[in-house]
Amino acid sequence: MSALLIIFVTMGLALWLGLQARRGRDMNLEQWTVGGRGFGTLFVFLLMAGEIYTTFTFLGGSGFAYGKGGPAFYILCYGSLAYVISYWLLPPIWRYAKAERLISQPDFFAHKYDSRALGVLVALVGIIALVPYLVLQLKGLGIIVSTASYGAIGPSAGIWIGIVVTTAYVMASGVRASAWTAVVKDTLILVVVVFLGIYLPIHYYGGLGPMFTAIDAAKPGFLALPASGQSISWFDSTVLLTALGFYTWPHTFASLYTARDERIFRRNAIILPLYQLILLFVFFVGFAAILKVPGLTGPAIDLSLLRLSAQTFPPWAVGIVGAAGVLTALVPGSMILITAATLLANNIYAVFRTDADEATISRLAKWLVPVVALVSVYFTLQGGETIVALLLMGYSFVTQLLPSLVCSLMERNPATREGAFAGVLVGVAVVAFTSLTHMSLATLLPSLPTWVHDLNIGIVALAANVVVLVAVSAVTQTRQAQHPLSSAR
Amino acid sequence: MRGIKWLALLPFIGMLGGVFFVNQVTPLVLGMPLLLAWIVLWVLLTSVIMALIYATDPANRDHIGRDEARSHEAGR
């Protein structure tokens, strides 16, 4: 009971802090991070370290390490590669957005291609991609509540509690994220993960080396990539997909607009890869669980970190671990919810109803929050996917925006608006088709070699996207050249 | 030193290409499976490489230098 108590108290605290932030009574980060003061730098360092952690890394990462072994290492790769890309990708986006005073991701595409239709499509893709991302946060919340209750609260009930709390948090804190909540979240998660990642291997095995030796003895080859399934082909294509798609999420896009100077992106590219190493602690927990909490399969692998904690520590300590997990799901979850609702209101509804005023749109966005929440609960209750699989699904959708994005940044945009539209549509269609029908390349084209079957579907869709983009652009380019005035829409 | 920016390709080669050669568990390096240790190494190298690129990139100098560098960048 005490574990659950701690968790509910934490949720209450988060709600209270959110309300305080909305009333303007929030922590003044400026006081803590004034340049030159050593304490301030350490503070920023800790904050950034904590930001790495979301439900995906905390529960999903440990779960994937527990359930799949070596393939989980992809999570360590894609961030670093994304940061390399960001060095050259982000500054031009930022410059254009600043010059055109853009606010959202769809704005960028709509302006660059002079096409409201493309803007609407980009908004739709963003929303579709955000749903699995939100679902995984809800799944995490459900797991935490359920485990902390030591089975008293079932997983479904846990999910409903999770969504109610998340929606309440959004309503309480509004658009302004609470700095206090971020500080509490980041500090707590960092402490919890580092502690678990060091303590559990030592407690159960006497150290890292002995732990990995024991796992390798019990499951030979598990800690490397298998020959099929999550093979090298899967690994490379998945790392590539997620590295390319890292900055194509609607909320990441919008937040990069707020940077004060483009050099920040380049500097981050140096430091942020190092923060990825903190993921190692999460992996170690998942690995420690393999031989100590055996038998979890399928989507249940996401339970491994919490189950192991419940097995090792007294209830109050489990409560603290759970509390960290709650905050890690609540904060990103609420941000995703707000982003999706805002996209629907601002970038879809407002495009068609040009007479709608700011107040109407804001009110619509607020009421769409519970709507999006309910839709996500529906999908969450359907179950069946691991947290990692859910995020990869989101990536498969959102990365389809990259080709037209990159083209638009070139000196002479080789893509036309028709080409961009068609490319995105085809890419999304491929992913949607295979997801809904639960088919894969293996079932559709069984005669192809294993390495092709193992390719991440998002990459396959991306390839189709590019082909269509190039083809359609070529055709519409000639039409545009022949009728220069017809490009006005 | 315009050529330095091509170093940025190395993390891709190291992580995506390297797996073909280090896809094994033993020998353990610093207690970690070889594959994991290889990736950790490349994460560190990525940071080093980006630091090098940043330091030699004319676009990162102060305002006066930056405007001059802009005309260089446009040609890239």
- Alpha carbons within 13 A on the beta-carbon side of A356: 18
Please write down the long-range contacts of A205-214, taking CB distance under 8 Å and 24 or more positions apart. Answer: A205/A288, A207/B31, A208/A284, A208/B30, A208/B31, A208/B32, A209/B28, A209/B31, A211/A284, A211/A287, A211/A288, A211/B31, A212/A287, A212/B25, A212/B28, A212/B31, A212/B32, A212/B33, A213/B28, A214/A291
Q: What local confidence, expressed as pLDDT, does residue A37 receive?
A: 46
pLDDT in tens, B17-61: 999 999 999 899 999 999 999 999 999 999 999 999 999 998 887
Reply yes or no on whether the pLDDT at A426 is more than 70.
Answer: yes
Give the closest-approach CA distance of B52 to chain A in angstroms.
9
Residue A267 to residue B44, Cβ atoms within 8 A = no
**CB contacts, 8 Å: A240 with chain B:** 16
Q: Identify the residue with better confidence: A435 or A78.
A: A78
Residue A80 to residue B24, Cβ atoms within 8 A = no
- Out of B8, B19, B44, the one facing A225 most closely (by C-beta) is B19
pLDDT in tens, A228-251: 889 999 999 999 999 999 999 998
The values of phi and psi at residue B32, to 5°, are: -100, 150
Give the closest-approach CA distance of B17 to chain A in angstroms.
8
Closest CA to A212 of B21, B37, B14: B37
Q: What local confidence, expressed as pLDDT, does residue A437 receive?
A: 84
How far apart CA A209 and CA A202 sit, in angstroms, is 10
- Alpha carbons within 13 A on the beta-carbon side of A432: 13
Mean pLDDT of the residues in chain A: 88
**CB contacts, 8 Å: B59 with chain A:** 91, 263, 266
Report residue B62's pLDDT band, with 50, 70 and 90 as the boundaries: low
Q: Identify the residue with better confidence: A470 or A50.
A: A470
Average pLDDT over residues A373-396: 90
Let me know: does B54 contact A269? Beta carbons within 8 Å: yes
The gap from C-alpha A59 to its chain's centroid, in whole angstroms, comes to 13
State the complex-level ipTM.
Answer: 0.88
* Helix H or strand E encompassing B8: none
Report residue A39's pLDDT band, with 50, 70 and 90 as the boundaries: low
Reply yes or no on whether the pLDDT at A480 is more than 90.
Answer: no
Q: What local confidence, expressed as pLDDT, does residue A51 receive?
A: 73
| Token pair in block for residue A436 | 């809904």
Residue A80 to residue B33, Cβ atoms within 8 A = no
| Token pair in block for residue A34 | 């004034």
| Token pair in block for residue A265 | 């992106």
Q: Identify the residue with better confidence: A438 or A403.
A: A403
Residue A84 to residue B12, Cβ atoms within 8 A = yes
Burial (CB < 10 A; 0-12, 13-18, 19+), residue A157, is: middle
Residue A70 to residue B51, Cβ atoms within 8 A = no
Query: A74, A81, A215, A216: which to substitute to probe chain B, counting the most B Cβ within 10 Å?
Result: A81
Reply yes or no on whether the pLDDT at A103 is more than 90.
Answer: no
Q: What local confidence, expressed as pLDDT, does residue A177 receive?
A: 65
Q: What local confidence, expressed as pLDDT, does residue B73 receive?
A: 46
Q: Identify the residue with better confidence: A46 or A132.
A: A132
Give the closest-approach CA distance of A183 to chain B in angstroms.
26
Report residue A23's pLDDT band, with 50, 70 and 90 as the boundaries: confident
Check CB contact of B13 with chain A, cutoff 8 Å.
no
- Out of B28, B34, B46, the one facing A84 most closely (by C-beta) is B46
Report residue A35's pLDDT band, with 50, 70 and 90 as the boundaries: very low
Q: What local confidence, expressed as pLDDT, does residue A50 receive?
A: 72
- Out of A70, A80, A270, the one facing B54 most closely (by C-beta) is A270
Give the closest-approach CA distance of A406 to chain B in angstroms.
14
| Token pair in block for residue A356 | 């709608």
Q: What local confidence, expressed as pLDDT, does residue A479 receive?
A: 65
Q: Which residues of A71-94 are buried (b: 16+ CB within 10 A; e: fewer)?
A: bbbbbbbbbbbbbbbbbbbbbebb
Q: What local confidence, expressed as pLDDT, does residue A443 receive?
A: 83
Reply yes or no on whether the pLDDT at A36 is more than 60.
Answer: no
Residue A87 to residue B74, Cβ atoms within 8 A = no
Closest alpha carbon within chain A to B56: A266
Q: What local confidence, expressed as pLDDT, does residue A430 receive?
A: 95
DSSP string, A145-171: HHHHTTTSS-HHHHHHHHHHHHHHHHH
The gap from C-alpha A1 to its chain's centroid, in whole angstroms, comes to 32
How far apart CA A114 and CA A368 sit, in angstroms, is 28
Burial (CB < 10 A; 0-12, 13-18, 19+), residue A263, is: middle
Report residue A92's pLDDT band, with 50, 70 and 90 as the boundaries: very high
Q: What local confidence, expressed as pLDDT, does residue A28 receive?
A: 57
Q: What local confidence, expressed as pLDDT, does residue A40 receive?
A: 60
Residue B31 to residue A223, Cβ atoms within 8 A = no
Q: Identify the residue with better confidence: B70 or A20.
A: A20
Q: What local confidence, expressed as pLDDT, does residue B69 receive?
A: 46
Check CB contact of B57 with chain A, cutoff 8 Å.
yes
Reply yes or no on whether the pLDDT at B65 is more than 50.
Answer: no
Q: What local confidence, expressed as pLDDT, does residue B21 receive?
A: 94
How far apart CA A248 and CA A90 sit, in angstroms, is 11
Let me know: does A387 contact A136? Beta carbons within 8 Å: yes
Q: Give the A-side interface with B, CB within 8 Å.
A: 70, 73, 76-77, 80-81, 83-84, 87, 91, 207-209, 211-213, 216, 220-225, 232, 235-236, 239-240, 263, 266-267, 269-271, 273-274, 276-277, 280, 283, 411
**Under the phi-then-psi rule, with left for phi > 0, alpha for psi from -120 to 50, and beta for the rest, what region is A410?**
beta
- Out of B11, B33, B50, the one facing A270 most closely (by C-beta) is B50
Reply yes or no on whether the pLDDT at B63 is more than 80.
Answer: no
